[in-house]
Copies of this chain bind each other. A is one copy, B any other.
Amino acid sequence: MSDPLPTIREHDLNGTTYTIGELAKEFDITTRAIRFYEDEGLISPVRIGSKRLYRRRDRARLKLILRGKRLGFTLAEIRETFNLYDEAHGEAHQLRYYLSVLEEKRQHLIRQREDLEETLRELDHSYAHCEQLLAQQEQHKVKDHGTAAASRQARPSPAATRMED
């Protein structure tokens, strides 16, 4: 008689491990998504019987996948990054190629950062302008103390044309 199959929890594989459900909960994604990433070659969990068991490395990659997605990278791009990383520990010309890819990626990210800063600046302007409008309306309310209808049809403010630049 063979030993009974150990449950997934009794496996340790010297290190922390996770079930698919745990990871799904932790990162607030569906198990379907996690399996999909595996189909796309982005993660390779160990199998215990038919079940997937995720190790620290898998969790780290999942994190990178999600961050990459938030930055707008496609799964294919993320996979490429992983593959490159995995293969770049050998020959010099591989390392050089890896360097060039990193440089490209940096350009992309820096462009994106500029877009982001610019958007944040404009957002701040809108925010300030909006608060100013509100403050003016308060002023009028105080002056008119009650006849608020006067300020309903607000004149177009100078800053209202900002989007036309």
A interface residues with partner B (beta carbon < 8 Å):
56-57, 60-61, 64, 67-68, 70-72, 85, 88-92, 95-96, 98-99, 102-103, 105-106, 109-113, 115-120, 123, 126-127, 130-131, 133-134, 137, 152, 154, 156-157, 160, 163-165
Pick from B57, B89, B137: contact of A157, CB below 8 A: B89
**Chain B min CB distance to A38 (Å):** 17
A71 contact from B110, B119, B163, Cβ within 8 A: B119
Q: How far is the CB of A149 from chain B (nearest CB, A)?
A: 12
A115 interface neighbour in B70, B99, B102, B106, Cβ under 8 Å: B70
New contact pairs (6) apart from A67-B119, A95-B134, A116-B116, CB-CB < 8 Å: A85-B126, A89-B154, A95-B133, A96-B134, A103-B127, A106-B120
- Give CA–CA (A131, B95) in the complex, Å: 8
A137 partner residues in chain B, CB cutoff 8 A: 92, 95
Show 5 residue pairs from A and B whose CB-CB distance is below 8 angstroms, ordered by the A residue: A67-B119, A68-B119, A70-B72, A95-B134, A102-B130
**Nearest 5 CB-CB pairings of A with B:** A72-B72, A57-B164, A67-B115, A102-B127, A95-B134
User: Chain B residues near A156 (CB, 8 Å)?
Assistant: 89
